């Protein structure tokens, strides 16, 4: 099973490393306009294979993506300290106008996984460009709030003293400032969050919730401010998404995809819990949000729509 990664910067290379460490796929091909960088990253990654799983890592051109089942799009310029994801839009749209057709010319049957920020809008752009080439929307998905959901579960689990694998809680909407933490639907070990806290005598105050919300929502700004970029978390998330697609696992992830209607906002791309399988998005899971969460999700959808509308996609 071949996996392509376009863009061998921090995110693309770290995603490839996570795939090597977890044995995702049998061949990984790195493509980058900086061919020396792609070649160097591929060699470095291939030298880690003896310590992990038997697979091949190499660099190549778009033509080398032929036969790839999944292609991760991590090309584009990175987020600067203090820059919002939405401010990246114009710079990365121009890049994708060239990248997407080139990828699909070589790998017309691939599922496209978008990692480039602002990811919701770039996924919408990718879907638009792919549809012009006959690719159905379900075969294009973005990493969305997969990482934000992991952050939420990790921080909540830490507060509760519970392994985060047993915490189920979603972050939905924009991967960014307007994202929505669905506190009302959070469960722990099959119990509603409030019931679990009562049963286990664990305090979860409004201040605790606000602190967790802030750490989830502003995690990227903190990391970028300290070291310039985020890549370990998203690289691991991308490896997980690719593995799910390759093995048709039908897992539920908060990936972003083009959606007809979200709280009355039409034709918008944002993150919701979706079943992901071998052909991309299988279906979207409806959520019984409370009134405040629904209002926040609608606001988030409108933020994304405003940015999409500014592109005047033909």
> How far, in Å, CA of 113 to CA of 242, rounded?
8
Mean pLDDT for the stretch of residues 252-279: 96
Residue with tokens 């409370």: 290
Model pLDDT for residues 172-194, shown as the tens digit of each residue:
999 989 999 999 999 999 999 99
* Cis, peptide link before residue 118, omega less than 30° from 0: yes
Model pLDDT for residues 86-124, shown as the tens digit of each residue:
677 778 888 999 999 999 999 999 999 999 988 999 999
Ranges 1-15, 17-31, 74-88, 289-303: which has the least confidence: 74-88
**pLDDT score, position 232:** 96
Q: How confident is the model at residue 128 (pLDDT cuts 50, 70, 90)?
A: very high
Q: What is the pTM of this model?
A: 0.94
Domains defined along the chain, listed by start? 2-142 (3.40.50.720), 146-311 (3.90.110.10)
Alpha helices in 161-260 (DSSP H): 193-199, 206-217, 219-227, 232-246
| DSSP structural state of residue 285 | -
Q: How confident is the model at residue 271 (pLDDT cuts 50, 70, 90)?
A: very high
Residue 91 CB burial class (10 angstroms; 0-12, 13-18, ≥19): exposed
Active-site residue, 175 included:
yes
* Cis, peptide link before residue 139, omega less than 30° from 0: no
124, 138, 168, 175: which one is catalytic? 175
Ranges 20-24, 45-49, 218-222: which has the least confidence: 218-222
């Amino acid at each position: 099973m071949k996996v392509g990664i376009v863009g061998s910067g921090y995110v693309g290379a770290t995603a490839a490393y996570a795939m090597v460490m977890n044995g995702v796929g049998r061949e990984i091909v790195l493509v980058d306009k900086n061919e020396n960088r792609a070649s160097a990253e591929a060699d470095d990654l291939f030298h880690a294979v003896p310590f992990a799983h038997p697979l091949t890592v190499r660099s190549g051109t778009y033509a080398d993506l032929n036969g790839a089942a999944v292609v991760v799009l991590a090309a584009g310029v990175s987020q600067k300290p203090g820059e919002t994801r939405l401010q990246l839009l114009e710079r990365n749209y121009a890049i994708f106008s060239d990248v997407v057709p080139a990828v699909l010319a070589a790998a017309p049957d691939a599922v496209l996984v978008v990692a480039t920020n602002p990811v919701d809008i770039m996924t919408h752009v990718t879907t638009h460009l792919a549809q012009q080439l006959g690719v159905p929307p379900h075969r294009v998905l973005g990493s969305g709030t997969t990482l934000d959901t992991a952050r939420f579960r990790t921080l909540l689990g830490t507060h509760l003293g519970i392994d985060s694998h047993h915490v189920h809680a979603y972050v939905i909407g924009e991967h960014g400032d307007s994202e929505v933490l669905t506190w009302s639907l959070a469960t722990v070990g099959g119990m509603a969050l409030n019931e679990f806290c009562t049963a286990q005598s664990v305090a979860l105050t409004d201040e605790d919730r606000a602190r967790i919300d802030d750490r989830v929502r502003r995690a990227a700004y903190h990391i970028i401010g300290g070291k310039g970029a985020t890549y370990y978390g998203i690289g691991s998330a991308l490896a997980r998404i690719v593995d799910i697609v390759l093995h048709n696992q039908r897992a539920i992830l908060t990936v972003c995809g083009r959606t007809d209607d979200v709280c009355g906002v039409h034709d918008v791309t944002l993150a919701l819990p979706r079943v992901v399988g071998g052909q991309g998005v299988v279906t979207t899971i409806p959520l019984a949000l409370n009134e405040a969460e629904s209002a926040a999700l609608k606001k988030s959808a409108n933020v994304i729509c405003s940015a999409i509308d500014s592109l005047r996609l033909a």
